[in-house]
């Protein structure tokens, strides 16, 4: 513990832990690889890694994540063993989307008393779309003294920034968000979710048969409405395919998307509230043509008549991972349970090693 620790902790009387934060990387794909580098650079001690494919299992985490150095941690396909033996403070989980498929991955962390920060999108605010699964995970987390939280790109850009913008209003009538991100910034898991490369008729048949579980936008908007203390009265979601006007090479797919096939989708969620303000969030995730870049724009209407926030060229891929790392002390310091951004302190920059922000009771 250094003299500076109390200041780093925001004036708290608690002391910093005095040892590195011990972290497991759970899912060593596109995001897990970036997370590994950021963890090392923020002074965390890597104590375990979980992967799946034979091409990764058994190899060193540093090598699989492309760090060019060995970390002495083999990637394992046995999460129960890794989580039981690692003695980790936190697992950063970047595997797949939706609570259903992710339930067992979170369960094994929580049962071993290991806190979780995940980029799984439904976890950002699961209470409307998956209350039963979220409730079971909340109970499990409390029983084992651990905390689970969803973060990622939505934490600052799609939730905190519009929330702060609303804070500049005297009266809010409506909130409109519009964002874009590039499928090729991520791995195959994401390309699969937005059905990149599919034919429009295949996509239409799929949606007709299975419906469309809103991807990212619904849960993000649920968080924004909850953060404002408002009560949803009606929720609508819609999806439209984004079609290639010419063949475009996709890194995530490892092939070109043919003219007339899906580059991705535009997902829209609208929420009206009992109290009056309405919310709309439209998000396009697609394979980019050369020259396209990420965008984040929010407009709040009411009094003042219009408040506007626009970020061009958002580095969404890296900013997804930086926010997860900056959230780690919040999650370690938080009470047990399945918590969301609405329960935790505002996202903050972490200049020092992560352990400097961890409170010891």
Binding site for ligand NAP (CB under 6 A): 27-32, 50-53, 56, 94-97, 119, 121, 152-154, 186-190, 193, 320
Residue 312: strand pairing partners: 295
- Closest contact distance (angstroms) between CB of 109 and ligand NAP is 12
Which CB, 9 or 186, lies closer to ligand NAP? 186
- Closest contact distance (angstroms) between CB of 170 and ligand NAP is 32
- Closest contact distance (angstroms) between CB of 174 and ligand NAP is 25
- Closest contact distance (angstroms) between CB of 316 and ligand NAP is 7
Phi and psi angles of residue 30, each rounded to the nearest 5 degrees, phi first: -60, -50
Tallying the residues shown for the chain, one arrives at 361
Residues 301 and 5: their CA atoms lie apart, in Å, by 42
Concatenate the DSSP letters of all residues of 17-31 into one string: -SSPPEEEEE--SHH
Residues 360 and 18: their CA atoms lie apart, in Å, by 9
- Closest contact distance (angstroms) between CB of 111 and ligand NAP is 16
- Closest contact distance (angstroms) between CB of 232 and ligand NAP is 21
- Torsion angle of C-alpha atoms 215, 220, 222, 223, degrees rounded to 10: 150
How many other CB atoms are found less than 10 A from the CB of residue 65? 26
- Closest contact distance (angstroms) between CB of 281 and ligand NAP is 14
Which CB, 220 or 272, lies closer to ligand NAP? 220
Which CB, 153 or 263, lies closer to ligand NAP? 153
Secondary structure class of 265 (helix, strand, coil): strand
Which CB, 96 or 165, lies closer to ligand NAP? 96
Contacts with 57 (C-beta within 8 Å, 6 or more apart), sequence order:
51, 75, 76, 77
Which CB, 203 or 277, lies closer to ligand NAP? 203
> What are the C-alpha distances in Å from 36 to residues 184, 205, 324?
20, 39, 11
- Closest contact distance (angstroms) between CB of 105 and ligand NAP is 7
Query: Is the C-alpha dihedral spanning 67, 68, 72, 75 positive or negative?
Result: positive
Phi and psi angles of residue 79, each rounded to the nearest 5 degrees, phi first: -60, -35
Which CB, 280 or 294, lies closer to ligand NAP? 294
The Cβ-side half-sphere exposure at 341, using a 13 Å CA radius, reads: 37
* Nearest residue to 313 (alpha-carbon basis) of 181, 137, 217, 115: 181
Which CB, 95 or 226, lies closer to ligand NAP? 95
Residue indicated by tokens 């009470």:
335
Which CB, 121 or 355, lies closer to ligand NAP? 121
């Amino acid at each position: 513990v250094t003299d500076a620790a109390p200041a780093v902790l925001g004036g708290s009387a608690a002391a910093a832990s005095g040892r590195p934060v011990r972290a497991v990387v759970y899912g060593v794909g596109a995001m897990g690889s970036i997370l590994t580098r950021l963890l090392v650079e923020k002074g965390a001690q890597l104590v375990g890694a979980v992967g799946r494919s034979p091409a990764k299992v058994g190899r060193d985490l540093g090598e699989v994540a492309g760090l060019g150095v060995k970390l002495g941690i083999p990637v394992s396909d046995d999460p129960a063993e890794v989580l039981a033996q690692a003695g980790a403070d936190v697992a950063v989980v970047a595997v797949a989307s939706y609570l259903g498929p992710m339930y067992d991955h979170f369960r094994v962390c929580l049962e071993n008393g290991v806190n979780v920060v995940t980029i799984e999108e439904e976890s950002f605010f699961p209470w409307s779309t998956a209350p039963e699964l979220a409730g079971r995970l909340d109970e499990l987390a409390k029983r084992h003294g651990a905390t689970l939280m969803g973060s990622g790109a939505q934490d600052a850009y799609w939730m905190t920034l519009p929330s702060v913008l609303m804070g500049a209003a005297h009266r809010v009538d409506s909130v409109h968000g519009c964002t874009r991100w590039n499928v090729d910034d991520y791995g195959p898991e994401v390309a699969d979710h937005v059905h990149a490369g599919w034919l429009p008729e295949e996509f239409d048949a799929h949606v007709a048969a299975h419906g469309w579980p809103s991807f990212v936008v619904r849960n993000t908007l649920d968080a924004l409405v909850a953060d404002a203390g408002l009560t949803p009265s009606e929720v609508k979601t819609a999806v439209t395919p984004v079609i290639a006007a010419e063949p475009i090479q996709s890194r995530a797919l490892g092939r070109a998307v043919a003219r007339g096939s899906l580059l991705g989708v535009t997902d829209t969620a609208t929420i009206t509230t009992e109290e009056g303000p309405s919310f709309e969030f439209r998000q396009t995730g697609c394979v980019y043509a050369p020259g396209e870049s990420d965008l984040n724009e929010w407009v709040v209407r009411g009094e003042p008549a219009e408040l506007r926030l626009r970020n061009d060229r958002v580095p969404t891929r890296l900013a997804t991972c930086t926010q997860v790392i900056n959230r780690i002390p919040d999650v370690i310091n938080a009470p047990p349970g399945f918590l969301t951004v609405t329960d935790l302190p505002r996202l903050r920059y972490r200049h020092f090693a992560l352990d400097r922000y961890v409170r010891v009771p």
